[in-house]
Amino acid sequence: MYAKSERNEREIAPTEESRALPRSDRQHRPPDDDKAVDDSRTDETRANDSRSDCNRPGPLRRHPFVAAAVAILVLLCVAAVVIWWIDARQYEWTDDAFIDARTVTVGAEISGRITDVAVTDNQPVEAGAVLLRIDDSDYQASLKQAEAGVVAGRAEIANVQAQSEAQNAKIDAAEKQVAQAQAALEFARSEDQRNRELLTKGTATQQQAQQAASTLRQDQAALDTANANAEAAKSQIAVLQAQVKSAEARLQQAQATEDQARTTLTRTTITAPVAGHATNITAAKGTYAQPGQVLMMFVPKDVWVKANFKETQLDLMRPGQPVDIVIDAYPEKTFHGHVDSVQAGSGTAFSLLPAENATGNFVKVVQRVPVKIVFDQPPGVYLGPGMSVVPTVKVR
């Protein structure tokens, strides 16, 4: 220790001596001496710097508050990442989602010229509102003709029923004639028997006996005729009953024709099936519509979200789970809904050309399964099929 201090003193001493020399002496010193002095100064400076570096405090000691702030910031970042991960595990989301609805194709069911188009493109309409009309003059005439057929059918039935009533009266008269002929026959039979007995006793003439027998035969013939007339009248009832059934059948046919004509007439006016918007209108006043021709599309107000989640996201997804819905058209609003159902199969299974994994080389691809999400409350904004949506489902 003492040797080190002596060495330091020897190193410092020349410098002090050089400082003590007069300026004249320093000016007349040889160049080699100046170089030696400079070297000694450099060595001194390096020694001082080394001693200062050894004695200088570390950055943590020099800036304790900055170090504490950095440490707290790191801890906060770690805590935020952990909290985010724990919270993110409770949700499943996808951007492969869009608004869906059961759009209605409005077409003509009958042929005719369009006389009126009551709506314009994208016009909101209520259920039962008139969309367009087709010329109904021909169908009005068909309805009147069918109504006349119904009236004729009913009149025919009334006529046959009247004939049946008249025939029943004839049957009653024939039965009475039968009864009258039966009574006359019984009297004639009694007269013939009495005249026969009197003839055997000799109290009656042969003429009287023959007259009684003739009367008996006449009354017997009259009874047979009355019975035949009664049977004929009764058989006519069956004919009239058949005519009544035939007339009733024709009446039913006429009524069916009337109903069909009335239904066809109602089809000349096309109305909205449900509340919604009329869009993609191709019908125009004056054009001729054909049965089955599409005249416009109709989008109902009842819409929902069809979200195509990956099959790996469906493990904890169940109907009834709450969903936050963000629609690209309204980024500042968040709508609420719930999971309604999960499709029983992936989307490719129900596509027009489903995948055939049994042919060719197989590459496993994560499939997507459509999930139906319905709104808890009507959105209150315009939504149409195909609009992009980002749903987030709380699965835990």
Task: Render pLDDT for 240-279 as a digit per residue (tens, 0 to 9).
Answer: 788 888 888 888 999 999 999 999 999 999 999 888 889 9
Q: Which candidate, 292, 288, 295, places its Cα nearest to that of 271?
A: 295
Q: What angle do CA 164, 168, 172 make, to 5 degrees?
A: 170
Sequence-distant (6+) residues with CB within 8 A of 301 are 274, 275, 276, 277, 378
Query: CA-CA distance, 271 to 130, in Å (whole number)?
Result: 4
Q: Which residues contact 208 (CB under 8 A, 6 or more apart)?
A: 195, 198, 199
Please say whether the beta carbons of 294 and 270 come within 8 A: no
- Could you give the CA distance from residue 367 to residue 365 in angstroms, rounded to a whole number? 6
- CB-CB neighbours of 304 under 10 Å: 16
- Phi, psi (degrees; rounded to nearest 5) at 142: -65, -40
Question: How far apart are alpha carbons 196 and 216 in whole angstroms?
Answer: 12
Q: pLDDT-derived band of residue 15, with 50, 70 and 90 as boundaries?
A: very low
Exposed, middle or buried, 37 (CB in 10 Å: 0-12/13-18/19+)?
Answer: middle
**Confidence check: pLDDT of 162 > 90:** no
Query: Where along the chain do its domains lie?
Result: 2-56, 91-102+298-394, 137-266
Taken as a whole, the chain contains a residue count of 396
Segment among 6-10, 105-109, 140-144, 266-270 with least mean pLDDT: 6-10
Residue type, 272: A
Please tell me the distance from the alpha carbon of residue 95 to that of residue 327, in angstroms, as a whole number: 10
Q: Looking at the predicted structure, is the pLDDT value of residue 27 above 50?
A: no
Distance separating alpha carbons of residues 394 and 371, to the nearest angstrom: 14
Contact criterion met (CB below 8 Å) for 337 and 308:
no
Judge whether residue 331 has pLDDT over 60: yes
The candidate with the shortest Cα–Cα distance to 269, out of 295, 251, 243, 250, is: 295
Q: Are 309 and 321 in contact (CB under 8 A)?
A: no
Calpha distance 175→234 (Å, rounded): 10
Cα 359 from Cα 348, distance rounded (Å): 16
- Distance from the Cα of residue 47 to its chain's centroid: 90
Inform me whether the pLDDT recorded for 199 exceeds 80. no
Minimum mean pLDDT range among 117-121, 155-159, 233-237, 382-386: 233-237
Helix (H, G, I), strand (E, B) or coil at 106: strand
219-235 confidence digits (pLDDT tens): 677 777 777 777 777 77
Q: Which CATH architecture has domain 137-266?
A: Orthogonal Bundle (1.10)
Report in angstroms the alpha-carbon separations of 235 from 167, 242, 244. Answer: 10, 11, 15
Cα distance between residue 347 and residue 341, in whole Å: 14
Q: How far apart are CA 234 and CA 181, in angstroms?
A: 18
The answer to whether 168 touches 237, Cβ cutoff 8 Å, is yes
Fold of 91-102+298-394: Elongation Factor Tu (Ef-tu); domain 3 (2.40.30)
What's the mean per-residue pLDDT of the chain?
79
Q: Quote the distance between the C-alpha of residue 320 and its chain's center.
A: 19
- Among 2-11, 16-25, 72-81, 319-328, the range of highest mean pLDDT: 319-328
Which whole number is the average pLDDT over 78-82?
78
Span 27-48, mean pLDDT?
Answer: 51
